[in-house]
Structure 1
C-alpha cells in the first residue's frame, strides 16, 4: 500500500470518527506532525510508517479488537522537508510537533555548536528515540572515474539542499580529504534531482545520508552504471576521531544493481526529536505506541530499514536530553540505563 493510500485511509478514518462521535469527538482529536526529508530518501517512508502506527483517529477500533494500537484520538502525519537542520528549525519555531534528525545535527542544535554556532542553542530540543544508522552514500557515475572522495576535485557534485544534514556531513567529508566547495562544481539538490542530472550526463557525483537502499539511488542504478565510492582510510578515521557521532559502516555489495562489492563508509544515527513544550502524557503515549507489537510488524514489513528500528537501540547515541514523556516510558521498560541523556 502506498503512503498516499495510507494517508487517505487515515483521513477517512478521521472523518468517520468525527461523524460518529459528533462535535465532542472532533474536539478530542490531536494532530502530530513528523517532519521527515525529501520523498526520495529514507526519512519520508519511515515517517509514514511511524505516523500510521501511532495514529488512532476517533471512531477507530481498539487495539484488542484488531484495530489500531496507536494513541487514542491521535492523527499523525509525515511531512516532507529539507531534512535535519530544517526539521529542528521547524520544531523550534513551533510549525511542526516533531521531526527526524541526524544525531550530530541534533547535538549541535541543542548545544549551539557546529552548524548552529552563532545562531543560538535550541535548548528545548528533546529526543523521543534513536531509530537506525544512516549511511553516508557517495554515488558517482561509472564513467566519471571517481574512486575516492579525493577524486571529486574539479567534478560536478551535489551536496543536497540547504537545511539538510547531508550537506553538513558532505562538507565534513570534503574537508577530511583536503577539499572545499571551491574545489568542486557544487550543486545543492535532493538525490532524485541529482540522479536525473546524472542520467543526462550532467552530474558526476552526489552525496546522500540515509538508510540503504535509498529509493532514488536504486532507481538510478537500473538505468545508469554507478559506483558507491568508499569513504575509508585515515581520512575517515580522522572524521570519527574529531566527531564522536560518526561510526564505521558498510553498504553491502548487491544493495544497488550493478554494484557487486561492499563499500566502507561512515554513518550517523537517525533520531526522532521533539520539543520540551510537547505534553508529557502525549509523548509518553506516542513512545509507548512506537514500541508496541503492531508497530513492530509495520516496521518489519514496511521498509528495509524498519527491522533496524528496535527498542533495544532506542537510546543509542542520543546526545541531547530525552523528553520527560519518553524518559518515563524507557524507565518503565527498564531501558533508561542504555546510554540516554537525562531529561532536563
Structure 2
C-alpha cells in the first residue's frame, strides 16, 4: 500500500512539473487555436446551454483554445462518443458513466475504459410529467399507457427503465415513444402521450414549457419505491422538486442522479487542469450564474467530486489535490 502511495505521489509531482514546463512553451501560432469538442445533449435540455456557457468561458478566459459544442443523444450516446474518441469532453449522468466504465449490459456491451471523470456539476432529477386530465397519480398506472421514455441511448431512457422496473413494468407493458425532450413536451400538450420522463436540471425548459400552456402534474416516487431503487441502483438520491418551479405544481418527491463532465484519457492533462481553473474562477462561475442561475447554485469545489464513480483524469486529479479537495 505504501509503495502504491509513493508511486502515486511521484506521478503527481512529475505531472505538475510537466504542466509548469508546458506553460513556458510559447504557442505555435495565435492564429491557430487548439480546437476541442464537447458532446452535450438535447437543445431543450440543460446540457446544451451549460456546454454553450462553458464554451464562452473558454473563449474569454483560456487563450489559444476554442471549444465547440455538439448537440447529441445525451449520456449513453456521449459515453460511446468518448469510447471512439469522437469527442474530447462530454456531459453525462454519473450513473451512465459508471455503467459505461464497467461495461454494464445491455446498455454497454463493452467497457468504456478510456472514460475519465472531470467534475460533477448539479443534480438531475427525474421528472415524470403527466396531463392532469389523465388521472395518473402513480408510476404503477403507466402500464398500457403511451409514455415518452427518452431517446434511444439517452440517460433518460436508462432512468425510465430503472424506475419502471421497480414496479414490475417493462417497455413491453407500455406504448413507449423514444423521442427527444422537446418532442415529448409537444406530444404531452397535444395529448399524443399520457406521460413523459425527463431527466435534467431543475427548471429545465422541456418541462416548463408544456406546464405553461396546459394543466400538468408531476408523479411522485414515494419512499418505499426509492429504497428499492437505491438498493438496486446505488447512484440515485432523493430530491424534492420545489413547488412553484413549474407554475402551479406543488412540491413533488422524486429521485435524482448527477450531471458530470467527462473526458477521454488521451486529452492532455494541462488542458483539463486549465479548463477546471477557468470554470471555477470567479469570472467563470459568474458566467454560469448569469446564464443558468439555478444550476450555478450547485457548482462548488466542495461538491465537485460528488457521485464520481469512475477514475479521475490526471489533470483533474492534480487540480483537486492543489485545491485541497483530494488528499
Same fold flag (TM > 0.5): yes
Deviation of the 1:26 alpha carbon: 2.3
Distance (Å, rounded) in 2 between the aligned partners of 1:108 and 1:115: 10
Q: Residue in 1 aligned with 2:8?
A: none
What's the counterpart of residue 29 of structure 2? 24
Cα deviations by residue, 1:17-54 (Å, 9 ceiling, x for unpaired): xxxxxx93223x11121111100111111111112112
Q: After TM superposition, give the deviation of residue 78 of structure 1 in Å.
A: 2.0
Contact 1:199 1:224 in 2 (8 A): yes
Count, aligned residues:
299
Distance 1:171 1:227 in 2: 21
- 1:316 counterpart = 2:320: no
1:224 matched to 2:214? The reply is yes
Offset at residue 291 of structure 1 (A):
0.8
- The equivalences for 1:121-200 within 5 A come to 121-200=111-190
Structure 1: gaps (5+ residues)? 1-22, 56-67, 338-344
Would you say 1:42 and 2:46 are equivalent positions? yes
Q: What is the rounded CA distance, in whole Å, between the counterparts of 1:317 and 1:155 in structure 2? A: 33
TM-score by length of 1: 0.84
**RMSD over equivalenced CA pairs, Å:** 1.3
In structure 2, the partner of 1:274 is: 263
Match status 1:286 vs 2:291: no
Report the Cα distance in structure 1 between the residues aligned to 2:36 and 2:158, rounded to whole angstroms.
27
- Is the contact made by 1:85 and 1:105 (CA closer than 8 Å) also made in structure 2? yes
Structure 2 counterpart SS, 1:25: coil
Name the SS for the 2:297 alignment partner.
Answer: helix
| Alignment check: 8 A CA contact 1:46 1:306 kept | no
Aligned pair partner of 2:230 in 222, 228, 240: 240
Q: Report which structure shows greater RCO (CA 8 Å, sep ≥6).
A: 2
Q: 1:115 & 1:310 partners in 2: Cα distance?
A: 34
Q: SS at the partner of 1:218?
A: helix
Q: Is the CA contact (8 Å cut-off) linking 2:163 and 2:229 kept in structure 1? A: yes
Q: In 2, Cα distance between the equivalents of 1:148 and 1:316?
A: 30
Does 1:297 pair with 2:301?
no
- Confirm or deny: 8 A CA contact 1:98 1:272 kept in the other structure: yes
Shift of 1:275: 0.6
Instruction: Please report the TM-score for the alignment, with normalisation by the length of structure 2.
Output: 0.89
